[in-house]
Structure 1
Amino acid sequence: MPIYEFSCTRCEREFEKLILSAKEKEEIRCPHCGSEKVQQQLSVCASSSEGKIRSSTGSCAGCTATSCAGCTVRKP
């Protein structure tokens, strides 16, 4: 699904939006304050296969640790 992440430069809140067409992407407004001044954020993805978590960041998906030094999840 084409779900994009945005942040509002006016109220500084983040939100996600399902975008099905290029026109919809041009008409994005902040759902919190209604501002058109939004910026698309870099999305990261994580996947799970056979109980192993793979993430494009330095830590596991959903984890708040800055490193995986003591992690019990097996790495690929």
Structure 2
Amino acid sequence: MPIFEYKCKACGEIFDVLQLAGKDNDQIKCPSCESSELEKLISAPFLPSSVGKPANEEKTGACCGSEPGAKGCTPGSCCGGAGVH
């Protein structure tokens, strides 16, 4: 079920709407001022990673939280010598 983000052109409110296929989505209104003059925004997607955190979450340090060559880094992983750090 797609969730879309909108910005109201009248009051500036940003809100999310769950839009179901086959439903009349022309009736969407701002929850704050009830204006129907809306701008659909492009949202950053949630990309799950193999460790349960979003893949697009800001990272500090090395790519997997370890330094290259640290115990547990495997060949081909980001810190295991794949050339991407």
TM range (shorter): 0.5 to 0.7
Structure 1: runs of 5 or more not aligned = none
Partner Cα distance (1:50, 1:17) in 2: 28
Partner Cα distance (1:47, 1:27) in 2: 30
**Residues 19-50 of structure 1, C-alpha deviations (whole Å, 9 max, x = no match):** 11365322210011100011110021122222
Structure 2: runs of 5 or more not aligned = 65-77, 79-85
Tell me the residue number matched to 1:40: 40
Contact 1:8 1:14 in 2 (8 A): yes
Q: How does 1:41-56 map to 2 (within 5 A)?
A: 41-51=41-51, 53-55=54-56
Tell me the residue number matched to 1:74: 63
User: What letter corresponds to residue 48 of structure 1 in structure 2?
Assistant: P
Identity %: 28
Aligned length: 64
Question: More strand per residue: 1 or 2?
Answer: 1
User: What letter corresponds to residue 41 of structure 2 in structure 1?
Assistant: Q
The structure having more radius of gyration, on CA atoms, is 2
Q: How does 1:19-34 map to 2 (within 5 A)?
A: 19-21=19-21, 23-34=23-34
Q: Which has the higher contact order (CA 8 A, sep 6+)?
A: 1
TM-score, normalising length: structure 1: 0.66
TM-score, normalising length: structure 2: 0.60
